[in-house]
Structures are given as C-alpha cells and as structure tokens.
C-alpha cells in the first residue's frame, strides 16, 4: 500500500519527502521496525518515541510520523508532521489494514467489572448461533476457535487493527471486545467503527493511572461519546453513572436493570451454588451462574443479543446453556463438604459483589473464609478498602500476596492491614506465601463453609520482580482436595 493512501484520512501540518512509497507495515515500537515500515513517534507514559526516530530509520523505516521534526533530516526519509501522534496512530493502522471494522459488527464492553464475562458470553452465544466470531479480552483473544494470547485488556492500535483484519479475512461476522479505560485515554481504539457499546458499572480502579475517579469516568464516557448514530448504547440503570455514560452519545440508548423499569428487566427468583432461576422480561430461565452481579451481566448479554437482531426466545435458550468464564466465580467442591470459589475480584466493589453472592446462597448456614491480596505497583488507595470489604463480610480473612511485581509482598500486606480496626483484626491473619494462605483457609473450613480465593481468577502466574512464575489458584485447590 502506498504511503499517500495511508495518510489520506488524517490531518497533516507538514510533509517533507515522497508520499508515493510502498509501505509494508506500521509500528510505534522502534525495535519492531522492518524495511519499508512507517515509524510513528508517540509520546507514551514511559518513553517518548521521538527519541527513537534515528534507531527506526537504521532498522529500515522509510517514513516517520511525528509531532516535532528532528533537527537533522534524512533526504531518503519522508517526514509527516501532525498535531498528536497518539490520536492518529489508530487511524493510520485502520487505513493500512483495510478498515476491518467496516466489514465486522464490533461491540465494545466497558466498565470496572463484568467486561470479560459479558464479552466472552456474547462470543460463546453467537458461536452457538452458527457465526464465526472474534473475541478481544483480558483472558485471551480468539479468531473463531483459534486462541491468540494477550498481554493487555485492549491491545495497542496497530496490534488491534492487525487482529481485526485477520478476523475480517477469516470470515468473522461479529467481534466482542473489552474496552479498557486505558485504551480510550490512550486512543488505542481510534479509527474503529463500533456497532454497539455496553456499560457495566463504575467503581474505583486504575487510579494509579487516571489519578481521580472523575478522570476514570471521563475515559469510559468518551467511548460512548464516540459512537455513531447507527450504533446502540446499552447501559446499566442500576449504576448511578449508567445514564451519565450515555448523555452525549449519538447512539440509540437502551437500558437494563434488576431494580428499575428498563428495556431489559431482570429478577432473581431462586439462587444456589449450582445456578439461578431468573425472570427476564417476564420469561423464566435457568442459568448456570451465581449472584446478582452475574444476573446483571446476563441481562447485558440478553440485551445485546436482542439489539443485534436475534429473537428474544433464541437468546434466552442460549443463555440457559452458557457456562461461567474461567476464573469468574469458579466453584469447586471439596471432599470435606465445603465449597471453594476462585474469582478475579481485584477491586473493593468486585469483592463486595462476590461476597454478597456467597451470602445470598449460604443464607447463614455456613462460614466464609476469604483469601485476598492486592497487586503491586498499582493503585495503593484500594488496598485498605479491599481488606475492609473482606473483613466486613467474612468470618475469617487471610491476607496474602497477589502479584507483588516490584514491591515487597509484606509492604502491600501492611498497606491492607492499615485499613482495619481492632475488631476486624481479630478475624484477620496474614500469610505472604499464597499457596500456604490457601492451604490454611482450607484447613480452617468445615462442611457447608465457603473458601473464597480472590484476586487472580484465570491468571496462571504470579509476577515477582519482573518474572512471571507459574501459579494457578484452582490448581492449588485441586492439589489440596486430592490430599483431604
């Protein structure tokens, strides 16, 4: 593809050099540049791509897109000056990969909790309907049944367009994608056309990056502000920010709720550790999920299915056959008669939701033992809140290590303990070794009790000092059960 075709849709302030060159790729990482590539110099949160222009040229870049021109220009290189490289990189990638979202029905899911569950269930549902479907999520990306490993909730714009291009080429009709607040703030989704957007909820998270809840909310809202009038915006009325998200959108707004009159209304009729009986728009359906938060997630899935043109009865039938996503309220039964639940809950709100769901089912007939930690090099403000939430709703709490990253596990534990009063401290112990913490919780559990292992869910590693060591909460529990 010629350079002039790639830059056609962007606002350029200055061009130096030839734009008829053939281009074989685009990159924002100078280390990945190959001959005939375009290098886009982006000012990132860690480094400024402008410092790597020379390195990119040495590796074969034939064009550079930048905000500030280098002092010395190479006569063989085409320089394209723009106002904001972060803003245009997604548009360049979209053009280079043939505008893949014009050939797909792309639905984005955003919110603090529930993104993975909703996106994955929609992916599973539409595959059951017989379509080829793509999934872009925290757990894994899929091109129909082909797994493509992932490092971020939402990939960088070039990886994202490349992935969407493959999905379009391989015949996917629908793609369901988690849209993180980082990806909106960093304009990773620039240039993409969405058929619809779903809002789950908004609570404290990622304040290490966004600094304030207001900034976090604005990042989420910007996604809906950018939807076109041909798209749908499906929002959760049970969250106080539900209508804030959609107040400036051009998209057609629909609502879902467990509490209020809405387009997609639900109610939990019965619940247990095997599943729930729900009423959805006055039709009863049995599902293999637990807890009100999952009832809300399923309403979002139902609503999106209907908004994408499926018959309500077909969507309900599919809902009844769907299974929980790996690491999301994943329950195992111990030979001793207690239940262990592995869940990704890593925010105070998510922990509250999971513990509420456990108490709804237990109904006072068993005790709750919670194993919980907090990630290192992330929002420190939520650490005491996590400990408080665990202590408030558990009979025993074991505070342990999560992914300490480059922090000392004991320092993170101390930050969590700082949020507890004397009364709470009586039911709390700390064990830095996560495997020992889980083992201790299981030793304390009796028949009918519940052991909640929170924070890591589907993750099969523990990140310590920059190295990911194999660690899987579910595997640990199965080993313990084998020896009970």
**Residue tagged 């399923």 (tokens):** 298
CATH of the domain at 30: 3.40.1390.10
Residue where a domain stops, chosen among 299, 321, 343:
321
* 434 annotated ligand binder: no
The β-bridge partners of 143 are 134, 146
Distance of alpha carbon 51 from alpha carbon 57, whole angstroms: 12
Does residue 180 have a known ligand-binding role? yes
pLDDT of residue 210 exceeding 50: no
Specify whether 233 is located in the same domain as 298. Answer: yes
- Does 209 score more than 60 pLDDT? no
CATH number at residue 297: 3.40.1190.10
Do 311 and 397 belong together in one domain?
A: no
Q: Is 80 exceeded by the pLDDT of residue 460?
A: yes
- Please indicate if the annotation marks 11 as binding a ligand: no
Residue 218: both structure tokens together: 């604005």
CATH code: domain of residue 335: 3.90.190.20
| Pairing mode of beta strands 275-280, 283-287 | antiparallel
- Which of 53, 84, 115 is the C-terminal boundary of a domain? 84
**Most confident of the following: 43-47, 362-366, 438-442, 457-461:** 438-442
**Closest of 264, 234, 259 to residue 249, by C-alpha:** 234
Answer whether 61's CB lies under 8 Å from 77's CB. yes
- 3-state SS assignment for residue 138: coil
**Is residue 190 within 8 Å of 91, Cβ to Cβ?**
yes
Q: Which of 8, 29, 48 is nearest to 155 (CA)?
A: 29
Q: Are residues 72 and 117 in the same domain?
A: no
Specify the pTM: 0.81
**Within-domain flag for 95:** no
- Check whether 115 is labelled as a binding-site residue: yes
Query: What's the CA gap between 272 and 288, in Å, rounded?
Result: 10
d(CA 174, CA 298): 18
Instruction: Give me the phi and psi of 28, to 5 degrees please.
Output: -105, -5
Output b/e per residue, 41-71; b: 16+ Cβ within 10 A.
bbeeeeeebbebbeebbebebbbbbbbeeee
247 is in an annotated binding site: no
Each residue's pLDDT tens digit, 392-437: 999 999 999 999 999 999 999 999 999 999 999 999 999 999 999 9
> Rounded to an integer, what distance in angstroms lies between the CA atom of residue 274 and that of residue 239?
27
In a domain, 442, yes or no: yes
In a domain, 94, yes or no: no
The parent domain of residue 351 ranges over: 330-482
Q: Is there a binding annotation on residue 154?
A: yes
Instruction: Confirm whether residue 212 is marked as ligand binding.
Output: no
Last residue of a domain, one of 54, 84, 114: 84
How many domains, the chain?
3
Q: Quote the CA–CA distance of 74 and 62 in Å, as a whole number.
A: 10
């Amino acid at each position: 593809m010629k350079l002039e075709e790639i830059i056609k849709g962007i606002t350029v302030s200055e061009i130096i050099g030839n734009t008829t060159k053939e281009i074989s790729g685009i990159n924002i990482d100078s280390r990945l540049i190959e001959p005939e590539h375009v290098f886009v110099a982006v000012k990132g949160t860690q480094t400024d791509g402008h410092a790597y222009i020379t390195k990119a040229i040495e590796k074969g870049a034939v064009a550079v897109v930048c905000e500030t021109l280098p002092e010395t220009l190479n006569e063989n290189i085409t320089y394209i000056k723009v106002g904001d490289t972060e803003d245009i990189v997604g548009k360049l990638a979209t053009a280079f990969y043939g505008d893949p979202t014009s050939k797909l029905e792309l639905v984005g899911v955003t919110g603090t909790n529930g993104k993975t569950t909703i996106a994955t269930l929609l992916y599973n549902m539409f595959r059951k309907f017989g379509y080829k479907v793509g999934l872009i999520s925290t757990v894994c990306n899929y091109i129909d049944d082909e797994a493509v490993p992932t490092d971020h909730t939402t990939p960088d714009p070039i990886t994202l367009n490349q992935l969407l291009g493959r999905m379009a080429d391989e015949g996917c009709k629908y793609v369901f994608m988690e849209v993180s607040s980082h990806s909106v703030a960093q304009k990773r989704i620039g240039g993409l056309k969405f058929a619809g957007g779903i809002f789950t909820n908004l609570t404290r998270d990622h304040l290490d990056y966004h600094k304030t809840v207001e900034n976090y909310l604005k990042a989420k809202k910007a996604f809906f502000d950018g939807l076109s009038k041909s798209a749908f915006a499906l929002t959760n009325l049970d969250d106080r920010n539900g209508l804030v998200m959609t107040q400036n959108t051009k998209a057609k707004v629909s609502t879902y709720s467990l509490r209020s009159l809405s387009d997609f209304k639900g109610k939990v009729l019965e619940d247990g550790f095997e599943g729930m009986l729900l009423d959805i728009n006055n039709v009863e359906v049995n599902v293999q999920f637990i807890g009100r938060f999952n009832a809300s997630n399923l309403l979002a899935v139902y609503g999106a299915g209907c908004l994408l043109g499926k018959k309500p009865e077909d969507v309900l039938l599919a809902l009844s056959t769907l299974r929980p996503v790996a690491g999301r309220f994943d329950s195992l039964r111990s030979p001793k008669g207690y239940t262990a639940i592995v869940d990704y809950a890593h925010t105070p709100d998510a922990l509250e939701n999971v513990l509420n769901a456990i108490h709804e089912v237990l109904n006072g007939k068993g005790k709750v033992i919670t194993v919980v930690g907090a990630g290192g090099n992330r929002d420190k403000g939520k650490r005491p809140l996590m400990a408080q939430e665990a202590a408030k709703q558990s009979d025993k709490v074991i505070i342990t290590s999560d992914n300490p990253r480059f922090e000392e596990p004991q320092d993170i534990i101390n930050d969590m303990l700082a949020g507890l009063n004397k009364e709470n401290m009586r039911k709390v112990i700390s064990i830095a070794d996560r495997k020992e913490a889980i083992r201790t919780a299981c030793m304390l559990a009796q028949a009918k009790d519940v052991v909640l292992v929170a924070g890591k869910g589907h993750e099969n590693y523990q990140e310590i000092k920059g190295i990911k060591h194999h660690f899987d909460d579910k595997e640990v529990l199965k080993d313990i059960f084998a020896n009970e």
